[in-house]
Amino acid sequence: MTEISITRTIYEYFDDIEDTEIRQNIIMYMEKYDIGNKGISTKTKHKIRFKNQIGGEHYEIKLKDGKTYYYNINDVQPISKTKYKMLFMTFDDINECACLTYGNKESNNSVLRIDGIKSFDECILCKDTQEIKPSLISGAHQKIINNNFLGCEKHKFKSGDILMQIILELVKNDTQFSHINKIELADSSQKKCYDIGLKLIYLRTMTHGIPYYAKFGFRPVLKTDYEDVFVYNRNNFKLNKTMKRDELLNIIKNKKKNMSNETYEIYKKYIKQHILNKENLNPVIFLSQTIKIVDNSMSENKNNKIKIIEEKKELSALCDFISNIYIDIYKFLGYKIYEKNLWVVHL
């Protein structure tokens, strides 16, 4: 048990520039419930391997896909507000994967708050059903070298999806959360594009019709956001709208003033001719393929059928180009913006 500064811990875990909104959301929540800055951090080293029993720093839950996942939790008990707790889910005691804040049963607060779910692959490790020797694991970030993990190499998963499933399983099955009947979150989820975060609330609405967390049952807190935005956007997606070449070029022209010279040059080098070659474009496919170029260029197992950019400065400039135009494309396609970016799921 160690006494810590909670705000310092937040800034250490969420230290990227794109984490600003996440830090602000957590601190605002602390202020709302008068949670002080000093807290007691508790980390233990035991593991529990039963489906509905949770405990210690290393946790293990078996999900519906038949695989088992490991992750870490740093339990922080605020000193000045003992009815509240903060759980930081980490993979190396430095980088944060998610923050859970909730009141205990005596607080009369039945809402658990989630902030900052990240999609780092290292946030979790996948394990097959074979037993693994405890001596082989000293941390969720440690590279596992025995064959027990080989079956998971071909098992593709999205760590953000798994983390959300783990949180839902925790809240449903652990007795310390038995009074929780609602989970809320501010959708600050992002798609990492090299060194830039692209907001998934816009990207995923364009690609799937609904924001990322909606697939787990989350819905807007505001009734007007649900009826006038969520339902409208979902129906708008079904229209499968396209853009004329000149319409996309006009968006780029209007955003040029916000782009650096390097960004605009990369656009001319890799993107402009592709646009000029088509009279009509599907903007979702256009954005997805552009992002895929970045993902493929950064991948260890590159697909030679997709353009590969070796220069890191060019990858950064390409992502900056996307960040300048994707919200304008979202609006052009007729999607609406939520008045209050707060989401809730009832248990």
Span 93-136, pLDDT tens digits: 545 677 888 888 888 899 999 887 766 555 665 554 444 343 33
**Which residue, of 186, 217, 233, is where some domain finishes?**
186
* pLDDT at residue 238 is higher than 70: yes
Q: Out of 7-16, 63-72, 283-292, which region has the weakest mean confidence (pLDDT)?
A: 63-72
Nearest CA to 219 out of 189, 191, 185, 168 is that of: 185
Whole-number mean pLDDT of the chain?
78
State the Cα–Cα distance between residues 306 and 346, nearest whole angstrom.
Answer: 42
Closest by CA to 64, choosing from 165, 213, 153, is 165
Cα separation of 123 and 159, whole Å?
7
CB-CB contact of 16 with 93 (8 Å): no
Residue 334 region, left (φ>0) first, then alpha (ψ -120 to 50), else beta?
A: left
Q: Confirm if 105 and 58 have CB atoms less than 8 A apart.
A: no
Token couple for 16: 């990227």
Asked whether residue 29 falls in the same domain as residue 171, the answer is yes
Kindly give, in sequence order, each residue whose CB lies less than 8 Å from that of residue 212, ignoring residues fewer than 6 positions away.
Answer: 160, 187, 189, 200, 201, 204
Confidence of residue 331 (pLDDT cuts 50, 70, 90): very high
For position 86, what pLDDT does the model report?
A: 79
Number of domains in the chain: 2
Asked if residue 196 belongs to a domain, the reply is: no
What's the domain range around 171? 2-186
Could you report the per-residue pLDDT of 214-232, keeping only the tens digit for each?
A: 988 999 999 999 999 999 9
Q: pLDDT tens digits for 166-213?
A: 788 778 878 888 999 999 988 877 788 888 888 889 999 999 999 988
Q: Which tops the pLDDT comparison, 287 or 300?
A: 287
In a domain, 65, yes or no: yes
The CA dihedral of 184, 27, 39, 82, to the nearest 10 degrees, is: -50
pLDDT of residue 236: 97
Backbone angles phi, psi at 184, to 5 degrees: -125, 155
Q: Which amino acid is at 297?
A: S
Identify residue 329 by its one-letter amino acid code: I
Helix (H) or strand (E) holding 319: helix 312-332
Q: Please say if the pLDDT value at position 30 is more than 60.
A: yes
Question: Is residue 140 located within the same domain as residue 37?
Answer: yes
Determine the Cα angle at 101 with ends 95 and 104, to 5°.
140
User: Could you tell me the pTM of the whole model?
Assistant: 0.75
141 & 280 share domain: no
Please indicate, yes or no, whether residues 263 and 160 belong to a single structural domain of this protein: no
Q: Say if residue 251 is in the same domain as residue 174.
A: no
Task: Among 164, 186, 208, give the residue marking a domain's end.
Answer: 186
Burial class of residue 103 (count of CB atoms within 10 Å of its CB; 0-12, 13-18, 19+): buried
Q: Is residue 9 part of a domain?
A: yes
Domain-embedded: residue 344: no
C-alpha to C-alpha distance for 48 and 60, rounded to whole angstroms: 7
Percent of the chain with pLDDT over 70: 71
Structure tokens at 157: 């998963």
Statement to judge: residues 158 and 76 lie in one domain: yes
State how far the alpha carbon of 152 is from the alpha carbons of 37, 118, 302, in Å.
Answer: 40, 21, 20
